[in-house]
Chains A and B, each alone.
Chain A
Amino acid sequence: SGTMAAGFKTAEPVEYYRSFLKENCRPDGRELGEFRVTTLNIGSLSTADGSALVKVGNTTVICGVKGELAAPTSEAPDQGFIVPNLELPPLCSPRFRPGPPGEQAQAASQFLADVIDSSHIIALQDLCIEKGKLAWVLYCDLMCLDYDGNILDACSIALLAALQNLTLPKVGVSKETGLAQVTVQERLPVKVGNYPVSTSFSIFDGTVLLVDPTDEEEALSCGMVTIVTDEEDQLCAVHKPGGSPLSAEQMQDCVTRAVQRGAEVRRLLHETLKSVGR
């Protein structure tokens, strides 16, 4: 009957899924509201100023943060910059081709930039070294190594963990020469002011909400919802790029579940940081 089931899955993937959902479970054994095992490795890259590797089930994302010096803009002379960029290389899934970033990678990068902006994860003023002259630019490069759905959640956790891990060399501006002086020996952490965590749902048949969808579930679903909550349970993003319509009650249900998931992930993050000793 194993081959029968495989044949059923190939011929009628949606019907196959429905037969599981009727029993309130999914083909991988999870309940509808259950997340995959999430693991976190902090400080995995020695060449980056801060880094983290996150696995949500099979989905794997690595994030490296690099600090560089630049001049602040004239509109915001007391602020630094945080520039996130997600790469979805062909190595992570056959759906991606080599070449310039596709729409999905660009939209995800914009999503991360919006989350950084909305949640004040790091106060941009903290990145300013000398007003109008010198500030830090944090290049947050994210790379997906294995694409098995729910990329936004994995990216948001990886970004947050890498920023927690980040240390920057001490920099001062010399009074006589007016040039930047970098003390490489002395490294200081950057204060992380908020802990936004993203939670994604895929909408199946317009009514069922599956939490933490796999790649397969994303392909069969008709739309996704991603909600980002922070430590004070405020919403930093309610992101639904199209898909089948949801009622106000369904949206509220997503928010409630996202708040719970946020607390779980923050607990995992704090525990991992404690075990690493930072």
Chain B
Amino acid sequence: MAAPMDTDTWDRDEVEEVDEEEAAGPPLRAVGCEQQPLSRPDGSASFTQGDTAVLAAVYGPAEVRVSREQSDRATLEVILKPKTGLPGVLEKSQEQFVRGVLEATLLSSLHPRTSITLVLQVVHDAGALLACCVSAACMALADAGLALRCLFCGVACAIARDGTIGLDPDARAEKEGRALVTLALDSSGKNVLASSTKGRLDATEYQRCLALSREASTKVFEFYRDSISRRYSKC
């Protein structure tokens, strides 16, 4: 399903990039997004942050099994597929994380007795994977034309052994750091939709990560806007 990045199937013109040198503010790795790379799902997006790449696809609102049907809202399902091997317990907890974000932002009461399914395929993990999954999910839902309360994005921060906080860590910074904080923020108030941490940190460090992530999320939301406006100016 997931085409590798360097083949011709990817239309490179559609991938816009934000360079960290040009933009002011805290450094993020280059962000790229392509909407509708896949033809069969109702909405899809490929999202990249540096070398980390995730492909997201949305199906729905579609038919739902009676046992899973909810009379006042759509049933949300998130499936996360790792790059290799079978999904395990870690993937289940990441699915729970993303689904929680969707439950808070997607206006699922508009489509009662239906199912909305989000499939996330990890193309490459080079750090901040969960954050990338969250952003990919947002762009795929937008592509599917589903009503959202607000946009959302994922931002990760790594705290190094000496206490310095680095935004959007690569695989090495993530592995060698003392702690990793992944946050999902909403576009309306830049508040915490979801939070996940690994390692030990103190309350001040968490607040600093939160402040940095809020600043960084502005850049991601700007990127969303650029990306979508460029897409619609083409047709």
Contact = CB atoms under 8 A, between A and B. Distances in A.
Interface in B82-136: 89-90, 92-93, 95-104
A103 B198 contact: no
Nearest to B188: A245
B9 interface: no
B233 interface: no
Contact count band on B: 35 or more
Interface string B197-212: 1111111001100110
A235 B202 contact: yes
Nearest to A226: B195
B100 A241 contact: yes
Contacts of A233: 202-203
Given A107-B96, A246-B191, A236 B200 contact: yes
Contact of A239 (B99, B189, B197): B197
B181 interface: yes
B203 A114 contact: no
A238 interface: yes
A242 B102 contact: yes
Contacts of B38: none
Contact of A242 (B92, B103, B181, B191): B103
B186 interface: yes
Contact of A245 (B90, B192, B206): B192
A117 B199 CA distance: 7
Nearest to B102: A242
A247 interface: yes
A248 B212 CA distance: 12
Contacts, number: 113
Contact of A246 (B90, B98, B192, B201): B192
Contact of B202 (A234, A246, A256): A234
Given A103-B95, A248-B207, A243 B103 contact: yes
Given A118-B199, A118-B200, A251-B210, A242 B89 contact: no
B193 interface: yes
Given A103-B92, A222-B104, A242-B97, 10 more contacts: A103-B95, A111-B93, A230-B200, A234-B200, A234-B201, A236-B197, A239-B196, A240-B196, A242-B194, A245-B191
Interface of B: 89-90, 92-93, 95-104, 179, 181, 184-186, 189, 191-203, 206-207, 210-211, 214
27 contacts: A103-B92, A104-B96, A109-B89, A110-B89, A110-B90, A111-B93, A119-B200, A230-B200, A233-B202, A235-B203, A236-B200, A240-B193, A240-B196, A241-B93, A241-B96, A241-B97, A242-B100, A242-B103, A243-B193, A243-B194, A245-B185, A245-B186, A247-B191, A248-B191, A248-B192, A251-B192, A251-B206
